[in-house]
Amino acid sequence: MHYQKAKYLLGAAKIDQLPPDEGIEVAFAGRSNAGKSSALNTLTQQKSLARTSKTPGRTQLINVFTLDDNARLIDLPGYGYAKVSESTKQMWQQELSRYLQERQCLRGLVLLMDMRHFLKETDQQMLSWAYDVGLPVHCLLSKSDKLKQGAKAKALAQCKKQLKELHPEATVQAFSSLKKQGLDQLLAKMDAWYSD
């Protein structure tokens, strides 16, 4: 897939506003500040496809990017931002769960988690929704450049172990947008989903 061809199509506040449920979608999700926008920009080789921001929780829309006539990339709203009101949180939870559980063209979920703080409660919730409907998940442990080799190996092993309980088919890798580490592994996983 030519990810550098990604083009912004629309932002949907509700899943009813998404394009028709056809073709293939792969979605990116993660807690605010996990490095999701940076990963999308790294993947597509575009500096500002997804806005990276030091103010977490700004993205309140499901952003849709087209890759070709049949394939789309979905940037789901970052969750877990403390300053968002309870009612907004609940609305987004509902939209996220509906998107993951009802979207027929969704082939896989890339779950971004900071390598130093992975599998928080909200991440576990995402995995549980995905597991319920048999949706494949690939976890990216982001900002891996911040850890030394030993700590990285330990985090990966721990995450794998916990995933066995939460979503046994889920896969996991280390990733760094800053150092462009782990990109080939991510591309292989996504290409497989898009060619399914």
The binding site for ligand GDP (CB under 6 A) comprises 30, 32-38, 52-54, 56, 78, 112, 142-143, 145-146, 176-178
Cβ closer to ligand GDP: 116 or 164? 116
Q: Please report how close the Cβ of residue 44 comes to ligand GDP at its closest, in angstroms.
A: 13
Q: Report how far residue 42's alpha carbon sits from residue 23's, in angstroms, rounded to the nearest whole number.
A: 24
Q: Please report how close the Cβ of residue 142 comes to ligand GDP at its closest, in angstroms.
A: 6
Q: Report how far residue 39's alpha carbon sits from residue 28's, in angstroms, rounded to the nearest whole number.
A: 9
Which class for 89: exposed (0-12), middle (13-18), buried (19 or more C-beta within 10 A)?
Answer: middle
Q: Report how far residue 38's alpha carbon sits from residue 140's, in angstroms, rounded to the nearest whole number.
A: 12
Cβ closer to ligand GDP: 32 or 122? 32
Cβ closer to ligand GDP: 1 or 112? 112
The residues near 170 (Cβ < 8 Å, ≥ 6 apart) are 111, 127, 130, 136, 137, 138, 139, 163
Cβ closer to ligand GDP: 25 or 75? 75
Q: Please report how close the Cβ of residue 70 comes to ligand GDP at its closest, in angstroms.
A: 26
Cβ closer to ligand GDP: 69 or 121? 121
| DSSP state string for 44-106 | HT-TTSSPP-SSTT---SEEEEEEETTEEEEEPPPB--TTS-HHHHHHHHHHHHHHHHH-TTE
